[in-house]
A and B are shown apart, each in its own frame.
Chain A
Amino acid sequence: MPQLRQKLLLLYLHNADLNSQVVSWTLYDGTGKETRTTGDSDAPPYGSVLAAMKDGWRVIQFPQQFPAYPGMEYNTSYLRYEYILEKMEETNG
């Protein structure tokens, strides 16, 4: 009996434009068909979020944009433009 499982693709962009280039990427495959790990690819699976959308990925989370906290204007930390996308795939169990 086929069942649906979720695949998550995390794409980090150059800037807030969904057409800007991917600078970091992560895949979690809930179907169990694919196991990904750090450093397993040198090129992103898509050039942009828009390119992934054209291949059937649904954007399920946008990064919110906040102004810098006073005194922290030049601090850097996590990647700012993180988009989470999903695709549902059928599995046999």
Chain B
Amino acid sequence: MVNRKRLLDSKQMARFVSDGFLRFDNLVPDDLNRAACAEMEQGIERRRGGVRLSEMWPAPSAIGEVFRLPEVQGIIHSLVGPDPLYDHHAVHTVDAGHLTGQVWHADAIIDTRLHFDIQFFYFAHDTPREMGGTLILPGSHYRRISESDIARYQNFVGQVPIVCGAGAMVVVHHGIWHCAQPNRTGRRRYMFKLRLNPTVRQLRLWNTDDLDDPAIPGILSANHRWYGNEVRIEIVNRIRFWRFLTGDERFDVSYWLSRLENQPETVLHVA
């Protein structure tokens, strides 16, 4: 049973709904980071998608230990519930002196679900900007595109490179747009990616003590600017997602959906 104190709170969940990712710096201790780096160099056991995460990487395994950390278990439980399914993992590398960025893409294919998978991006060693990091586009996760359909784009207002110290983790919604960045250093860069699927309905899985926090509508109204005039459509998609996550079918922000749902059927009888 996951410790309730380790669960995400509602404001963090609202940020996930708006931005499509959450970042956790210094999450993994140094000794474990070093052991994970060594494992990544040797290769990490793969299994077919659909097995329980709890069956993956039994001790002794540094990568297994990383994902069994109470803090990481709290993140997992909050987003996809207890004991999710392992989908796949990848040890992503960018060789020293590789000067071309990966094209923008979202993983997998067009995915129309409200149910969602998560992907962890685990940075086990320091990743300064000259080493690249993964570039992500906040708020891109509702866009319906298939993998590298978006390869024509090079830069966006508000794009965020994950530049971090060893032990940082970023957890993203499956739809987030991202790309690996050039590595201008003399060392190979590693990033461990893990995709997980829920096995329970994703309904109030986090610590909801602050569910009525007045900051939440503001968080859900964030404007990432790169989608220009479509910001209101983005907010509508967040409202729908928040309703799905909370079970509150009347939730709204700035009256966007309430006015559309107002379709009175009462007929006045005139004398």
A interface with B by C-beta (< 8 Å): 10, 12-15, 20-27, 36-42, 44, 74-81
Contact = CB atoms under 8 A, between A and B. Distances in A.
Contacts, number: 92
Interface string B222-259: 00011111100110110010000000000000000000
A74 B236 contact: yes
A76 B230 contact: yes
A63 B152 CA distance: 15
Contact of B155 (A13, A21, A26, A80): A26
Contact of A74 (B100, B149, B181, B237): B237
20 contacts: A24-B153, A24-B154, A24-B155, A25-B154, A26-B155, A36-B154, A37-B99, A37-B154, A37-B182, A38-B102, A38-B104, A38-B155, A39-B101, A39-B154, A39-B161, A74-B233, A76-B227, A76-B234, A76-B237, A80-B229
A64 B156 CA distance: 21
Contacts of B153: 10, 12, 24, 26, 38, 79
Interface stretch (B15-23, B67-75, B138-146, B190-198): B138-146
B228 A38 contact: no
- The A contact surface, by secondary structure, is loop
B135 A24 contact: no
Nearest to A84: B152
A57 to B, nearest CB: 16
B179 interface: yes
A15 to B, nearest CB: 4
Given A14-B229, A23-B225, A38-B179, 6 more contacts: A10-B153, A13-B228, A24-B153, A36-B154, A77-B144, A78-B143
A86 B77 CA distance: 51
A66 B10 CA distance: 38
Shortest Cβ-Cβ A-B pairs, 8 listed: A14-B228, A38-B101, A37-B101, A26-B154, A15-B229, A39-B135, A24-B156, A23-B226
B114 interface: no
Contacts of B143: 76-78
Contacts of A12: 153, 228
Contact of B145 (A13, A23, A78): A78
B208 interface: no
A82 to B, nearest CB: 8
A23 B228 contact: yes
A27 B237 contact: no
A51 to B, nearest CB: 15
Contacts of A10: 152-153
Contacts of A25: 154-155
B157 interface: yes
A81 to B, nearest CB: 7
B108 interface: no
